[in-house]
Structure formats: structure tokens, C-alpha cells
């Protein structure tokens, strides 16, 4: 591990005269919307674009402790890669063993993140099979031990992202939130679903409100924010300091600027698509960058006239020049 970084690395983005919306430990946060961590989506280019639009913190996608400890994986390096302009940056870890988790977090400190976030919500079978992510919700005391080890050892604030519980019969979000707070966790993001719900059904904003009232650390509300109106609705329903937006931001980073997507015309969309695509090429190289960008492009054009006919040719593009030519030739009235 490299020399310990300063206790907290304050962002340069301090706006003169602007008051912080809330704090993560000693780190001031300006803004009340945050791009959710999303594996396969929330990489450096997309996070940076959302951050420019107003997303207040950059959360990396989840990183498995063992991948960090064993090192040498290009994918893990890409997930953990961030730019200075993104600060404050939270690197999110998946882990279930105290020693491995701490070892991974200490290694990540060499990258000088502002925050380490503990993932307690991932529902994927291979993740919960190893006891990580939402599997930990079944073991609240272990959550307490993991959180305490990280908080005691790391020179930056530690945060956590939870679901409401493992399943409907074991919704233990208040117990988990109180344990996290008692362990020194500086912020709790709550996705208002259980593990067994995966991504189906409605997120329970009422349960998130209960967490907000039960703890004194900032609580970030998450689940089913798809529009600018939803941002205010979830804030009103939960009383939370901030809102985390996942799927609703894919193809729509303007949501962080509180701009309704219907008001973003084609010229402006195309300009951002081009910029995003070029950033992907810079990040991953042209071949992989264009492939990874495919899942973004289908969402950028969603809902525009003729979008369904445009999908196949756009998805077939292998180079960025080809992609831009296809988009220029299309020009829907948006």
C-alpha cells in the first residue's frame, strides 16, 4: 500500500457562496442528485458527463475485494479508474470477509478515492453465492464488524448502500441502518427493494423515509426515479438529503440538470452522443469503446421518431466514424 492520503480530499468544485447540501464525514457535497453505481454503465466517461450535468458524487460500479487483492485485472482497473474532475469519488467494494475486504480497501486507497462505499445490495447470484452484496443483509452483526473494521482503518469516510432486506419476510432495513450508523458509516444509500424483488415491483419510498428518520447520518433515497418530477416526489416522500438515480439516467444525463428529456432537441442530443462516444473510445480504445457504447446509444435515441428502425444499423457499427455517419444521416426531428 502506498503512503496514506490526507484524511479527506476536498473537491475543487466548491462553489463560491454556495452552501453544501450535506456532508459525507467532513466532505461537503454540493447538489442533491447522484448517479447510482451501475456495473457496465457508470464508468469514467458516463460518470463525468453526469457529474457535469449536476450529479453530486461519482460512485464507481462495484469492485470485488478478491479482484483488488489479487490485482492485475484490466477490467478492475477500468472500473476503479476516475478523473480528478469527478471528485468527490466513492469506490464501491463487494466483500464478506473482514480481512479480504480491508486489504482490498487499503489497496484502493492508493488511488486516493474520497470515500469507500460498501455494497450491501447487489442481488446477483454469483455475488450472493460468495456471501457478498445483499447476502450480508441476512447477517447484520457481520455487517457491523465489516463496517467497523473499514471505518477504524481507513483515512476516508466509509459509506454503505443497502436494500430493504433479503426478502419480504425479513425486511430488516432499520436494524441494518442503525448498525451501520453505530459502526461509524458516514452515509447510507437505500434502494427501496428487497433482494428477492431484484429490480421488479415498485421501490418502497415509505421504507426509505423510515430509515431517514431512524438515523442521523445522511440517507440517500434510491429506486424508480425516472423523471425530473420524480426527483422532487421522492425527496418529499422520504425527506432524504439526496436522491440516487440509476436506470433513469441512462440515455438521459440531463435529468441531473433537472431538464425534462422531452425538451432536449436532437442537435443537443447528438452533440452529447458524439462527446460520450469519443470519451468511450479514449477510455477503452475504438473497438471496445464502440461496443460498450451500444447500450448507451439505444437509450439516447429511445422514444425518438424512427428509433426502432435505427437500432439495428447503429448496433452494427464497429467504428466511431461509421456510428457518427449513421446518426448524421438520420437526424430525427426531436
62 sits near ligand FMN (criterion: CB under 6 A): yes
Order of strands, sheet of 219-222, starting from the edge strand that comes earlier in the sequence: 33-35, 242-245, 219-222, 188-191, 158-162, 115-120, 89-94, 58-64
Q: How far apart are CA 116 and CA 90, in angstroms?
A: 5
Q: How far is the CB of 60 from ligand FMN (least distance, A)?
A: 8
Which of 245/317 has CB closer to ligand FMN?
245
User: What string marks each residue from 246 to 275 as x (binds ligand FMN by CB under 6 A) or -?
Assistant: xxx---------------------------
Q: How far apart are CA 145 and CA 137, in angstroms?
A: 13
Which of 109/249 has CB closer to ligand FMN?
249
Contacts of 226 (CB under 8 A, 6+ apart): 247, 248
Q: How far is the CB of 248 from ligand FMN (least distance, A)?
A: 5
Active site residues: 122
Contacts of 239 (CB under 8 A, 6+ apart): 209, 212, 213
User: What string marks each residue from 78 to 117 as x (binds ligand FMN by CB under 6 A) or -?
Assistant: --------------x-------------------------
- Closest listed residue to residue 225, CA positions, set 249, 208, 241: 249
What phi-psi label fits residue 202: left (phi over 0), alpha (psi between -120 and 50 degrees) or beta? beta
Q: How far is the CB of 83 from ligand FMN (least distance, A)?
A: 19
Q: How far is the CB of 212 from ligand FMN (least distance, A)?
A: 16
User: What string marks each residue from 10 to 39 as x (binds ligand FMN by CB under 6 A) or -?
Assistant: --------------------------xxxx
List 40, 141, 216, 333, residue binding ligand FMN (CB under 6 A): 40
Place of cell 437526424: 331
- Which stretches of the chain bind ligand FMN, using CB under 6 A? 36-41, 61-62, 92, 119, 121-122, 161, 191, 222-225, 245-248
Amino acid at each position: 500500500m502506498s503512503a496514506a492520503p490526507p484524511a479527506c480530499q476536498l473537491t475543487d468544485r466548491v462553489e463560491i457562496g454556495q452552501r453544501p447540501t450535506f456532508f459525507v464525514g467532513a466532505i461537503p457535497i454540493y447538489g442533491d442528485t447522484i448517479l447510482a453505481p451501475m456495473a457496465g454503465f457508470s464508468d469514467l466517461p458516463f460518470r463525468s458527463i453526469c457529474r457535469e450535468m449536476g450529479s453530486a458524487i461519482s460512485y464507481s460500479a462495484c469492485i470485488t475485494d478478491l479482484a483488488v487483492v489479487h490485482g492485475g485485472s484490466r477490467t478492475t482497473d477500468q472500473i476503479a479508474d476516475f478523473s480528478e474532475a469527478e471528485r468527490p469519488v466513492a469506490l464501491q467494494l463487494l466483500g464478506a470477509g473482514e480481512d479480504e475486504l480491508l486489504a482490498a480497501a487499503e489497496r484502493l486507497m492508493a488511488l486516493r478515492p474520497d470515500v469507500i462505499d460498501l455494497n450491501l445490495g447487489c442481488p446477483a447470484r454469483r455475488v450472493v453465492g460468495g456471501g457478498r452484496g445483499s447476502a450480508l443483509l441476512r447477517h447484520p452483526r457481520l455487517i457491523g464488524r465489516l463496517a467497523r473494521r473499514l471505518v477504524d482503518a481507513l483515512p476516508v469516510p466509509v459509506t454503505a448502500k443497502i436494500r430493504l432486506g433479503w426478502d419480504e419476510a425479513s425486511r430488516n432495513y432499520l436494524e441494518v441502518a442503525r448498525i451501520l450508523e453505530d459502526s461509524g458509516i458516514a452515509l447510507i444509500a437505500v434502494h427501496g427493494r428487497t433482494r428477492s424483488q431484484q429490480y421488479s415491483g415498485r421501490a418502497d419510498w415509505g421504507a426509505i423515509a423510515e430509515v431517514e428518520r431512524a438515523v442521523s447520518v445522511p440517507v440517500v433515497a434510491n429506486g424508480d426515479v425516472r423523471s425530473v418530477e420524480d426527483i422532487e416526489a421522492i425527496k418529499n416522500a422520504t425527506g432524504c438529503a439526496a436522491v440516487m438515480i440509476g436506470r433513469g439516467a441512462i440515455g438521459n444525463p440531463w435529468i441531473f440538470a433537472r431538464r425534462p428529456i422531452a425538451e432536449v432537441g436532437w442537435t443537443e442530443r447528438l452533440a452529447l452522443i458524439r462527446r460520450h462516444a469519443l470519451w468511450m473510445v479514449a477510455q477503452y480504445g475504438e473497438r471496445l469503446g464502440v461496443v460498450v457504447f451500444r447500450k448507451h446509444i439505444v437509450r439516447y435515441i429511445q422514444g425518438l421518431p424512427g428509433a426502432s428502425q435505427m437500432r439495428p444499423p447503429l448496433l452494427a457499427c464497429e467504428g466511431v466514424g461509421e456510428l457518427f455517419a449513421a446518426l448524421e444521416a438520420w437526424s430525427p426531428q426531436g
